[in-house]
C-alpha cells in the first residue's frame, strides 16, 4: 500500500485507498483462518514486533500478539513496569533502543492523548497506536468497519448511533473520523455530560448529537455502545451512573419495545447491567464476539501494511560508523 504511515497514530493518517486496501487484505487473511500454515509468509525477513502497553488491556494486546504470530513474525512483550521507563528514560529513547536491537515495530498503548504524534516526523521505529488516552483507537475502528462489512451492512446512507461516554472514548473519536467516509450518518447519544462540546463537533458537520435515546433507537441501523469510563472522570465521580441503565442501557426488551431488529456492537470491556444487559449479550443482536474475532484479521492487515512501507527516516543510522568518521 503506497505511502502507508510508519507511525499509524490516527484514522486521519490514512487515505481512503489505504482503508479499502486494509478491508481487502483483512478479508484475504480471514480466508486462511482455518489453516494458518497455508498462509504465504508475507515477509522476506522475519520481523520482530514488540507490544508496549502502558495502560490495561485484554482484547487489544492479545489480538495484536495473535496477529503477529499468525504472520510468522517474532513477538516480544515489552513490559513497561520492569523497563528503564520506570527509571525515567523517555519513550523516545526506549524506542530507539528497541530499534537498535533489531525490533522493527512497536505497538504502543499510552494513557497520554497524542503522545505518539511527536514521532511522526522522525520515527524512532515503526509504530501502531494501540489506543492513546481519549484521543484515538484507530485499529479498533477499522476492525469495527471490517465487521460491519462482513455482516453485510453497506454503510452508504445508514445511521450508526454511538451511545455512551463518547467524550472520553478514543474508540468513539476514531469511529467519527472513519464511518462518515463510507457514507454513514453518525449520531452521538448519551447524557449531556457524555457528549463532546458543540465547538469540537464543528469538524464533523454530518454528525448529530442528542440525549433522546428513544428517537435514536428508532432511527438507527446499528447501535454502537460505549462503556462509561469511570477511570477518566476526575475523582471517579459519575453522577448519572446510577440512572444510566434505566435511561440509556440497551436490553432485548428495549429493542422489542421499538420493534427494532438491529445489530448491537461494543468494543469491550462491557459493563453488564449498565450500558448493556446480559440477555442482550446472549441474544442474536449482539456482535461483540464477531468484533473480537475479526480483530485478528484486521490487525494482521495493518501490521503488514505498516511493515511493508520503506521509510528512510527510520531509527538511528549507526551501521558501519567508525572512529575515523569523527575526525
Q: Does 170 bind ligand ASP (CB under 6 A)?
A: yes
Nearer to ligand ASP, 137 or 299 (CB): 137
Please give the size of the binding site for ligand ASP, defined by CB under 6 A.
Answer: 8
Q: Quick one: which of 5, 123, 267, 288 contacts ligand ASP (CB under 6 A)?
A: 267
Q: How far is the CB of 166 from ligand ASP (least distance, A)?
A: 11
Residue nearest to ligand ASP as judged by C-beta position: 227
C-alpha cell at 294: 475479526
Q: Does 133 bind ligand ASP (CB under 6 A)?
A: no
Q: Quick one: which of 123, 131, 191, 249 contacts ligand ASP (CB under 6 A)?
A: 131
C-alpha cell at 251: 436490553
Q: Does 135 bind ligand ASP (CB under 6 A)?
A: no
Q: How far is the CB of 324 from ligand ASP (least distance, A)?
A: 50
The DSSP result for 66-133, as a single string, is HHHHHTT-EEEE--GGGSGGGGT--HHHHHHHHHHTT--EEEEEESSTTGGGGGSSS-SSEEEEEEET
* HEC letters along 23-50: HHHHHHHHHCCCCHHHCCCCCCCCCEEE
Picking from 33, 34, 4, the residue whose alpha carbon sits closest to that of residue 20 is: 4
Cβ pair 208, 147 in contact under 8 A: no
Q: How far is the CB of 127 from ligand ASP (least distance, A)?
A: 17
Nearer to ligand ASP, 56 or 308 (CB): 56
Q: Does 27 bind ligand ASP (CB under 6 A)?
A: no
Nearer to ligand ASP, 74 or 113 (CB): 113
Q: Quick one: which of 120, 268, 293, 314 contacts ligand ASP (CB under 6 A)?
A: 268
Q: Does 164 bind ligand ASP (CB under 6 A)?
A: no
C-alpha cell at 292: 473480537
Binding mask 95-114 for ligand ASP (x = CB under 6 A): --------------------
Nearer to ligand ASP, 23 or 171 (CB): 171
List CB contacts of 242: < 8 A, sequence separation 6 or more: none
Q: Does 171 bind ligand ASP (CB under 6 A)?
A: yes
Rounded CA separation 175/137 (Å): 9
Rounded CA separation 294/23 (Å): 11
Amino acid at each position: 500500500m503506497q505511502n502507508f504511515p510508519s507511525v499509524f497514530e490516527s484514522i486521519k493518517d490514512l487515505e481512503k485507498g489505504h482503508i479499502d486496501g486494509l478491508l481487502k487484505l483483512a478479508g484475504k487473511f480471514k480466508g486462511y483462518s482455518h489453516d494458518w500454515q497455508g498462509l504465504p509468509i508475507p515477509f522476506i525477513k522475519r520481523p520482530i514486533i514488540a507490544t508496549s502497553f502502558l495502560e490495561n488491556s485484554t482484547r487489544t494486546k492479545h489480538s495484536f500478539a495473535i496477529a503477529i504470530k499468525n504472520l510468522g513474525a517474532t513477538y516480544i512483550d515489552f513490559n513497561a513496569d520492569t523497563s528503564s521507563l520506570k527509571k525515567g528514560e523517555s519513550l523516545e529513547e526506549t524506542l530507539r533502543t528497541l530499534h537498535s536491537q533489531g525490533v522493527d515495530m512497536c505497538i504502543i498503548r499510552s494513557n497520554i492523548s497524542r503522545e505518539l504524534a511527536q514521532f511522526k516526523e522522525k520515527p524512532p521505529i515503526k509504530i501502531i497506536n494501540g489506543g492513546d488516552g481519549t484521543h484515538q483507537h484507530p485499529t479498533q475502528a477499522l476492525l469495527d468497519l471490517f465487521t460491519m462489512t462482513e455482516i453485510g451492512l453497506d454503510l452508504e446512507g445508514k445511521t450508526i448511533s454511538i451511545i455512551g461516554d463518547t467524550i472520553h472514548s478514543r474508540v468513539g473519536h476514531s469511529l467519527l473520523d472513519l464511518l462518515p467516509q463510507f457514507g454513514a450518518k453518525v449520531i452521538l447519544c448519551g447524557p449531556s455530560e457524555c457528549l463532546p462540546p458543540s465547538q469540537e463537533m464543528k469538524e464533523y458537520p454530518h454528525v448529530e448529537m442528542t440525549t433522546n435515546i428513544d428517537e435514536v433507537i428508532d432511527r438507527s441501523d446499528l447501535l454502537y455502545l460505549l462503556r462509561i469510563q469511570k477511570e477518566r472522570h476526575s475523582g471517579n465521580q459519575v453522577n448519572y451512573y446510577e440512572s444510566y441503565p434505566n435511561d440509556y442501557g440497551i436490553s432485548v426488551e428495549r429493542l422489542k419495545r421499538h420493534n427494532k431488529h438491529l445489530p448491537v456492537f461494543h468494543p469491550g470491556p462491557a459493563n453488564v447491567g449498565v450500558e448493556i444487559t446480559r440477555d442482550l449479550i446472549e441474544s442474536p443482536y449482539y456482535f461483540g464476539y464477531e468484533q473480537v474475532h475479526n480483530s485478528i484479521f484486521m490487525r494482521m492487515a495493518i501490521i503488514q501494511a505498516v511493515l511493508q512501507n520503506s521509510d528512510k527516516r527510520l531509527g538511528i543510522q549507526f551501521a558501519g560508523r567508525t572512529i575515523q568518521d569523527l575526525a
